[in-house]
Amino acid sequence: MQDSLLKSNQFIDHYETFKSVLLLSEKVKQNLPSSSVLALGNRNAKLKITLIVNPFSAKSRNAHFIMEQILENYHDLVCVEVRFHFNHADYGYKKSKTVHEQLVYLYLSEGPQAFITGLYNWFTYTDERKLPTTPITRENEIVIKEILSKQFTCNIENHLFFAPIFSINQYLYPKQYDYKKLINFIEELSDDPEFHN
């Protein structure tokens, strides 16, 4: 039984197997304007990974920590685009609106590293008091609302209704693979011309 398990693990960890399954996955349209992209890592990297997260989801928390590990180990090889699945037209949940706006504001005002730290703090403590409390100007609020609205629209147009969701150069991450496996394939994906935009 152990031999059988070992063989199946070798098969699933094989890059060509992963690639074959990935290429059979549904493709996501790249219809998000660049002005609404929250990019981390190397913006010019050939390998683009998109991560849709919900700050209030435990699974998104795990996905965020996987994303951090990828950026820590492969910062130059990958561009990670973070998107939220937040309907800005729904004002029923004030805390959600505040958290989403503060996180996007962190990205715009202090840059990608501050944004990563803000997401880390949020997912670690789930306490909005751990986020900067800098008042957002009316002008910035309009920009933030536009970013969140465009991200939400893009998700809906691609039938992406849940979070977390990873996609790799437009291909949805295969359901057969745990998200933790992604880090094992970063180098090969970045070298593979089939995944270059």
Q: What residue segments make up the domains of the chain, in order of their start?
A: 2-195
Query: For residues 53 and 49, what is the distance between their CA atoms, to the nearest angstrom?
Result: 13
Helix (H, G, I), strand (E, B) or coil at 103: helix
CATH domain 2-195 topology:
Glutaredoxin (3.40.30)
The pTM of the full predicted model, rounded to 2 decimals, is 0.88
pLDDT in single tens digits along all 197 residues of the chain: 455 434 455 566 789 999 999 999 999 988 889 899 999 999 999 999 999 999 998 999 999 999 999 999 999 999 999 999 898 776 557 788 889 999 999 999 999 999 999 999 999 988 877 787 778 889 999 999 999 999 999 999 999 988 999 999 999 999 989 999 999 999 999 999 988 76
Cβ-count burial of 179 within 10 angstroms (0-12 exposed, 13-18 middle, 19+ buried)?
Answer: middle
